[in-house]
C-alpha cells in the first residue's frame, strides 16, 4: 500500500472513530488508543487526533 493510501485510509478511520465517540459507542480515550495503534502499525505520516 502506498503512503498516500495509508494516510487517506487513516483519515477515514479517524472520522469513524470521532462519530463513534459522538454517539457514545466508544470513549475518546479508547478512540485515541485505536488511532495510535493503527498509525504505528500502518506507518501513517499524519497525526489527526488531538
Q: What pLDDT, on the 0 to 100 scale, is given for residue 27?
A: 97
33 in a structural domain: yes
Q: Total domain count for the chain? A: 1
pTM comes to 0.78
Return d(Cα 38, Cα 2) in angstroms, integer. Answer: 15
Structural domain includes residue 49? no
> Does the residue 47 lie in any domain?
no
Tell me whether residue 19 is in a domain: yes
Q: 17-41 pLDDT, tens per residue? A: 999 999 999 999 999 999 989 888 8
Instruction: For the chain, report the end-to-end CA distance as a whole number of angstroms.
Output: 26
Q: What percent of the chain has pLDDT over 90?
A: 46
> What residue has cell string 495510535?
36
Domain of residue 30 covers 6-42
Residue 48 lies in a domain: no
DSSP H helical segments within the chain, as ranges? 3-22, 28-42
Q: Taking 80 as the threshold, does the pLDDT of residue 3 lie above it?
A: no
- On whether residue 27 sits in a domain, the answer given is yes
50 falls within a domain = no
What's the confidence (pLDDT) of residue 4?
A: 65
pLDDT for res 25: 97
Q: How many residues does the chain have?
A: 50
Structural domain includes residue 36? yes
Amino acid at each position: 500500500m502506498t503512503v498516500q493510501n495509508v494516510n487517506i485510509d487513516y483519515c477515514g478511520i479517524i472520522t469513524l472513530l470521532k462519530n463513534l465517540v459522538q454517539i457514545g459507542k466508544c470513549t475518546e480515550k479508547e478512540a485515541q488508543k485505536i488511532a495510535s495503534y493503527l498509525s504505528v502499525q500502518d506507518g501513517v505520516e499524519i497525526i489527526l487526533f488531538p
